[in-house]
Amino acid sequence: MKKKNFVSMILGTIGGILFAIGMCMCLITEWGAFNQGIVVAAVGLVVLLAMVIVRRKMEGKKAIVLNGKVIGTTLLGVVGALTLGVGMCMTMVWTSLMIWGIVVGCVGIVLLLCLIPLCKGIK
């Protein structure tokens, strides 16, 4: 395994776990940790952003190139992940919204699947 892949794997895992725990803290009302969840999720996002910067620096590329495609792709990913997460919460936490949660979760999955041709292209 190359060093850049190992570093990306470690930072991605830490950032993803922190973000996921933060979102659970925010969305599961029984925990009563909304404000702390926002902080933990923000730390997870910072770690994930640092991973992108470190990875690109290890590849010898510019840290982040901002253009319309990058911003649109990022927004699509965020909206897709949040939609999928809300759908999961609707099915697991708010049990009276099981059917709507499945529909919302499927919409989130479709949004995330749209990232594949957007990032890799269709050949």
More confident residue, 24 or 94: 24
Say whether pLDDT at 65 is over 80: no
pLDDT beyond 80 at 63 = no
Domain final residue pick, 48, 63, 78: 63
pLDDT at 27: 86
Which of 42, 63, 84 is at the close of a domain?
Answer: 63
Question: Do 90 and 108 fall into the same domain?
Answer: yes
C-alpha span between 21 and 47 (Å, rounded)? 14
Residues ≥6 apart with Cβ < 8 Å to 105: 83, 84, 87, 88, 90, 91
31 and 73 fall within a common domain: no
What is the tens place of the pLDDT at every residue in 88-119?
999 988 878 899 999 999 999 999 999 999 88
Residue 64, pLDDT score: 74
55 and 70 part of one domain: no
- What pLDDT, in 10s, does the model give residues 34-55? 999 999 999 999 999 999 889 9
pLDDT at 4 over 90: no
Residue range of the domain that includes 107: 66-123
Residues 75 and 50 in one domain: no
Decide if pLDDT at 75 tops 90: yes
**Position 121 confidence tier, pLDDT thresholds 50, 70, 90:** confident
State the maximum Cα–Cα separation within the chain, in Å, rounded to a whole number: 51
Model pLDDT, residue 2: 86
* Number of domains comprising the chain: 2
Residues 41 and 73 in one domain: no
The answer on 74 and 115 residing in a single domain is yes
Residues 75, 56, single domain; the answer is no
Q: Are residues 53 and 108 in the same domain?
A: no
